[in-house]
């Protein structure tokens, strides 16, 4: 299972243990943590091995990408303070795909380098670059502060995605460890149905007279 996991800070040891249990239960192999708030000097202690982040010496990390060494290879192509973009390779199948984990800044003026703060500009951008939202099951709202519920989490794909994965199951889970809902993507194997072959021997077709056809119908009735 591939998963984007959101968490409101990963510094607490209890939170880290809860997340490890959760990821083990979900059998997550490639994970994006958002809103991590982990300082650069603490990254190794918190994450262990096989991860990358967008933290700097002056800003706590907002995004961490972690992967299972025996299941995935992840190559970071580009990252900034609002996203990590890279190529993921499934080692068992050698399937490759590009994935971007995005977590925008809280203030509109901080989001300007990444995109305009207006939602209509974001929607226009999505349409222009040919992204679509996955069909999904689960929660309708993806974030809450207990007063307001909103759908700010998204899982998007382009037209090339189905060339790699025939079927993708997307689940917006109920919130638990965070005020954001975890988003899981899994790729169950779905064998394609066998196509039936119908043969018509045109040489054996006979044209029945109206009398013969009437007798046949009377016999059947």
pLDDT digits (tens, 9 = 90+) for 54-113: 887 557 768 999 999 999 999 999 999 889 999 999 999 999 999 999 988 765 655 555
Confidence at 161, pLDDT banded by 50, 70, 90: very high
Q: Are 175 and 145 in contact (CB under 8 A)?
A: no
Name the CATH topology of 2-196. Deoxyribonuclease I; Chain A (3.60.10)
Mean pLDDT for the stretch of residues 186-208: 65
What are the boundaries of each domain within the chain? 2-196
**What are the strands, taking DSSP E only, across 107-157?**
132-133, 137-138, 143-144, 149-150, 156-157
Higher pLDDT, 96 or 174: 96
What was the pLDDT predicted at 56? 77
Highest mean pLDDT among 33-37, 118-122, 158-162, 201-205: 158-162
Closest CA to 88 of 64, 72, 102: 72
What was the pLDDT predicted at 136? 95
What was the pLDDT predicted at 22? 86
Burial grade of 49 (CB within 10 A; 0-12, 13-18, 19 or more): exposed
Kindly compute the dihedral angle of the four CA atoms of residues 156, 93, 162, 192, in this order, to the nearest 10 degrees: -140
């Amino acid at each position: 299972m591939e998963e984007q996991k959101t968490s409101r800070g990963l510094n607490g040891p209890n939170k880290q243990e809860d997340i490890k249990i959760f990821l083990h239960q979900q059998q997550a192999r490639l994970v994006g943590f958002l809103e991590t708030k982990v300082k650069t000097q603490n990254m190794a202690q918190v994450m262990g091995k096989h991860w990358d982040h967008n933290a700097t010496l002056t800003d706590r990390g907002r995004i961490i990408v972690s992967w299972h060494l025996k299941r995935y290879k992840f190559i970071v192509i580009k990252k900034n303070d609002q996203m990590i973009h890279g190529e993921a390779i499934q080692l068992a199948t050698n399937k490759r795909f590009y994935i971007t984990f995005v977590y925008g800044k809280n203030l509109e003026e901080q989001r300007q380098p990444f995109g305009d703060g207006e939602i209509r500009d974001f929607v226009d951008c999505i349409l222009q670059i040919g992204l679509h939202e996955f069909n999904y099951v689960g929660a309708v709202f993806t974030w809450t502060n207990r007063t307001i519920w909103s759908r700010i989490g998204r899982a998007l794909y382009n037209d090339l995605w189905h060339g790699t994965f025939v079927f993708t199951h997307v689940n917006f889970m109920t919130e638990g460890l965070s005020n954001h809902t975890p988003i899981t993507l899994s790729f169950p194997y779905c064998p394609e149905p066998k196509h039936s072959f119908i043969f018509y021997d045109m040489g054996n077709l006979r044209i029945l007279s109206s009398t013969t056809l009437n007798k046949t119908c009377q016999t059947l009735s």
